[in-house]
């Protein structure tokens, strides 16, 4: 080998070795960033504390590893070799199924029962949902649980055998579905309906490289949901037609949301998916109900198409009961800042939506928080209704009090009766809503419920006074408290 050739080879090797450094420093070539939930390490400030604690050295090593030139290209090359040669992927949570179908592992986990949370926990959650459903119904609001279809449940035959061999007897989906029916929960089971109609659908409802329902699938569900609410509320919601569909390999929305995570050198050959051409009908004969949706990412597909606002008076969505999404505008962690009761009481319907990937965390803390808020308001309303007439009579029969009422009514330029109600409500709020007073009354009511004779007497007295049983319970507990102070 000649000396010139050796020097030429050395220069080539040196150039290859130093090219990533030059790329990092001068950004010589345009490269594509990696997709997905990827955090790239940033430089840490150099100072004596960071240096002597070795934090700066560790952070700088991570920074170099994440930012060297052509890193994304090398990562994609490595991923491509794994995918094409060994039929596997390093993409977090991505599973390559039979026929190249891509799944997210959390969907498979629920389908095979690997993340089963137990019958006791599910039973407790269903009891809370049932109590909330009944409480909301007293406010003329319908609570509806919707289980969206899961890709693993829809395509079990395409799940790798290594997962199917680990199949358990109980799953979150099966136990929840049975408990909902047993407890008469308003329940729409799209998971079952989609699977049962699999051979009847004219078009695919899932993209090959996506985890959410496609545009055709989500419209099948939306159409059925609208009909369910119409029947439940006895109203006529605006109609629409999505029967005309155009197939396109240019995928929209979430139709390639798993494929993009693979970060391959050569992107997957996308499958053409059906996209509806919408025809909406409206007018004075239609009603758009006030509907709130609390759920996971499946509803985002509909929100992204601006579909809910076509049928509901407001497009409001609480993503995982955490982020507030109104008309496709998202505010992170904003739900906690809302007045919960006021947000719920104004609704015609509240939908709790989940798919199999999130059954283990369903309903995202909503049932607990909502029941406390709604039940407190209902109890306060019953107590107010029970106590206010007695307070009004007490004011009218107190000469000094009535003199003060007349003076205040004159100052405020309002009627005497209006002033009496203002004073009665003030007394209720300041005296009868004190935590210690409420606790004492609740304790008496517990004793009542444990004394059948007392409860029977309350039912009779309620009938004689022509008031509700709950009002009578409140009045007698108050009377017992005032005549037998603790």
Domain enclosing residue 87, as ranges: 3-91
* 163 and 296 housed in the same domain: yes
**What distances in angstroms separate CA 406 from CA 393, 411, 430, one per listed residue?**
15, 9, 21
Residue 187: its pLDDT value, please?
98
Residues 6+ apart with CB under 8 A from 326: 314, 315, 316, 317
pLDDT at 42 over 90: no
- Give the pLDDT mean for 282-301: 91
* 58 and 109 housed in the same domain: no
Selection from 343, 406, 358, 428 nearest residue 106 by Cα = 358
Domain boundary among 58, 91, 124: 91
List phi, psi (to 5°) of 349.
-150, 145
pLDDT at 485 over 60: no
* 84 and 134 housed in the same domain: no
User: What sign has the CA pseudo-torsion 371, 460, 443, 427?
Assistant: positive
- pLDDT band of residue 382 (cuts 50, 70, 90) is low
* 212 and 295 housed in the same domain: yes
* 115 and 75 housed in the same domain: no
Query: How far apart (Å, rounded) are the C-alpha atoms in residues 81 and 76?
Result: 9
Token digits of residue 288: 């758009």
* 185 and 324 housed in the same domain: yes
- 189-212 pLDDT, tens digit per residue, is 999 999 999 999 999 999 999 999
* 383 and 329 housed in the same domain: no
- Give the pLDDT mean for 245-270: 91
Residue 59: its pLDDT value, please?
72
Residue 473: its pLDDT value, please?
83
Token digits of residue 427: 């007394």
**What distances in angstroms separate CA 218 from CA 16, 206, 274, 320, 373, one per listed residue?**
50, 10, 11, 19, 32
Query: How far apart (Å, rounded) are the C-alpha atoms in residues 311 and 323?
Result: 22
Residues 6+ apart with CB under 8 A from 328: 303, 304, 306, 315
* 102 and 87 housed in the same domain: no
- 104-154 pLDDT, tens digit per residue, is 999 999 999 999 999 999 999 999 999 899 989 988 999 999 999 999 999
Token digits of residue 395: 């004011």
- 392: exposed, middle or buried (Cβ count in 10 Å: 0-12, 13-18, 19+): middle
Query: How far apart (Å, rounded) are the C-alpha atoms in residues 486 and 476?
Result: 15
- pLDDT band of residue 173 (cuts 50, 70, 90) is very high
Cβ atoms of residues 190 and 225 within 8 Å: no
Token digits of residue 151: 């890709």
* 85 and 149 housed in the same domain: no
Residue 120: its pLDDT value, please?
93
* 237 and 308 housed in the same domain: yes
Residue 435: its pLDDT value, please?
74
Q: Please tell me the least confidently modeled range out of 17-21, 396-400, 456-460.
A: 17-21
- 413-454 pLDDT, tens digit per residue, is 989 888 888 888 887 777 777 777 777 888 888 888 888 888
**Count of the separate structural domains present in the chain:** 3
Torsion angle of C-alpha atoms 320, 326, 328, 330, degrees rounded to 10: -60
Domain boundary among 364, 394, 428: 364
* 359 and 233 housed in the same domain: yes
**What distances in angstroms separate CA 203 from CA 206, 210, 257, 436, one per listed residue?**
9, 16, 20, 62
* pLDDT mean across residues, the chain: 87
Domain boundary among 91, 114, 141: 91
* 296 and 352 housed in the same domain: yes
């Amino acid at each position: 080998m000649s000396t010139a050739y050796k020097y030429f080879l050395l220069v080539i090797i040196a150039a290859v070795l130093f090219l990533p450094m030059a790329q990092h420093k001068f950004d010589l070539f345009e490269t594509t960033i990696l997709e997905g939930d990827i955090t790239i390490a940033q430089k840490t400030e150099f100072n004596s504390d960071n240096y002597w604690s070795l934090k700066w050295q560790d952070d700088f090593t991570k920074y170099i590893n994440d930012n060297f030139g052509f890193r994304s290209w090398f990562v994609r090359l490595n991923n491509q070799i794994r995918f094409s040669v060994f039929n596997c992927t390093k993409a977090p949570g991505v599973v390559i199924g039979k026929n190249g179908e891509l799944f997210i592992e959390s969907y498979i986990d629920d389908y095979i029962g690997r993340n089963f949370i137990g019958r006791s926990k599910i039973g407790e959650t269903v009891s809370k949902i049932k109590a909330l459903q009944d409480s909301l119904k007293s406010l003329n609001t319908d609570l509806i649980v919707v289980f969206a279809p899961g890709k693993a449940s829809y395509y079990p035959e395409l799940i790798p055998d290594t997962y199917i061999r680990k199949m358990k007897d109980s799953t979150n989906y099966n136990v929840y579905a049975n408990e909902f029916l047993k407890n008469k929960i308003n329940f729409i089971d799209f998971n079952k309906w989609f699977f049962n109609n699999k051979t009847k659908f004219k078009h695919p409802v899932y993209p090959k490289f996506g985890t959410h329902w496609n545009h055709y699938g989500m419209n099948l569900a939306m159409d059925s949901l609208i009909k369910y609410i119409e029947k439940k509320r006895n109203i006529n919601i605006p109609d629409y037609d999505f029967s005309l569909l155009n197939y396109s390999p240019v995928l929209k929305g979430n139709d390639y949301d798993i494929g993009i995570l693979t970060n391959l050198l050569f992107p997957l050959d996308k499958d053409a998916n059906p996209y509806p051409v919408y025809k909406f009908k409206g007018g004075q004969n239609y009603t758009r109900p006030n509907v709130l949706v609390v759920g996971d990412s499946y509803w985002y597909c509909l929100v992204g198409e601006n579909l809910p606002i076509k049928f509901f008076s407001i497009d409001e969505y609480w993503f995982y009961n955490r982020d507030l999404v109104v008309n496709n505008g998202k505010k992170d962690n904003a739900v906690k800042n809302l007045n919960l009761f006021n947000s719920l009481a104004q609704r015609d319907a509240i939908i709790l939506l989940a798919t199999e990937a999130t059954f283990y965390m369903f309903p995202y803390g909503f049932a607990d928080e909502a029941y406390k808020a709604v039940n407190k308001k209902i109890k306060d309303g019953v107590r107010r209704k029970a106590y206010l007439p007695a307070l009004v009579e007490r004011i009218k029969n107190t000469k000094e009090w009535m003199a003060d009422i007349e003076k205040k009514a004159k100052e405020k330029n309002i009627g005497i009766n209006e002033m009496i109600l203002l004073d009665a409500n003030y007394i209720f709020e300041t005296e009868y809503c004190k935590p210690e007073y409420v606790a004492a009354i609740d304790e008496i009511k517990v004793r009542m419920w444990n004394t059948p004779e007392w409860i029977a007497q309350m039912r009779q007295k309620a009938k004689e006074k022509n008031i509700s049983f709950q009002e009578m319970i409140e009045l007698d507990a108050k009377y017992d408290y005032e005549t037998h102070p603790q």
